[in-house]
Amino acid sequence: MVITHYRYLQVIGLVLILIAGHLWTQRLGDQSWRNHAALLKEAENDQLDILEANIENKNDPLALVGLGQKLLDNGDAESAIIPLERATQIKSNYRDAWYLLGYSYIKADLDTQSEVAVTHPIAYRQQAKKALEKAHTIDPGHEPTNHLLKELSGK
């Protein structure tokens, strides 16, 4: 009788766990589809914070360009401008830093959600052109730079 009673409690416990699990997944399912994009964005921001914190030497242009590229990949062109400008200050002949800086200004200009881009689009385009011209001076054969310069000049 003790074993039967114990089995009965186990079965009741498992049923309760299954019901609770089902209810929990239903609740999560209803909320998760609405919040999925927000959760992904939050995780990306956390990863960027970790990346930024892990750059041991803020004066390392390669690390700064890496951070700028990561910010660009995550759709944050305005934030990418900061480390990329710093990289160009540290190493003025770093073509990729200048190219990505110009590209960031173009992306920020196109970002209609950006308050700065909406109020200062001409400044962004001018900054993009300056950065890309510097990249072109360093490496005149760099096709991505030449392509963006052509797009900016409307040719």
| Extents of the domains making up the chain | 1-54, 58-155
Composition of the chain by helix, strand, coil, percent to 5: 85, 0, 15
Cα–Cα distance measured from residue 77 to residue 117, given in angstroms and rounded to the nearest whole number: 10
CB atoms within 10 A of CB 114: 18
Residue 139 has pLDDT above 70, yes or no: yes
State the pLDDT confidence band at 100, using cuts at 50, 70 and 90: very high
- The per-residue pLDDT for 55 is 55
DSSP, collapsed to helix, strand or coil, labels residue 124 as helix
**Each residue of 42-97: pLDDT tens digit?**
656 665 665 565 555 578 888 889 889 988 988 888 888 888 998 999 999 999 99
Using 50, 70 and 90 to split pLDDT, how confident is the model at 5? low
Check if CATH label 1.10.3720.10 holds for domain 58-155: no
Three-state DSSP state, 35: helix
- pLDDT at position 33 is 47
* 15: confidence class by pLDDT, cuts 50, 70, 90: confident
Residue 18 pLDDT exceeds 50: yes
Torsion of CA 75, 78, 84, 89, to 10 degrees: 180
User: Which pLDDT score, from 0 to 100, does residue 79 have?
Assistant: 84
Percent of the chain residues past pLDDT 70, beyond the cut: 60
The mean pLDDT of 101-105, rounded to a whole number, is 94
Q: How does 2-19 read in b/e, with b if 16+ C-beta sit within 10 Å?
A: eeeeeeeeeeeeeeeeee
Rounded to an integer, what is the distance from CA 24 to the centroid of its chain? 32
Residues 120, 22: Cα–Cα separation, whole Å: 52
What are 141-150's pLDDT values in tens digits?
999 999 999 9
Query: The pTM is what?
Result: 0.62
CA gap 74, 41 in Å, rounded: 9
| 8 A C-beta contact, residue 150 and residue 106 | no
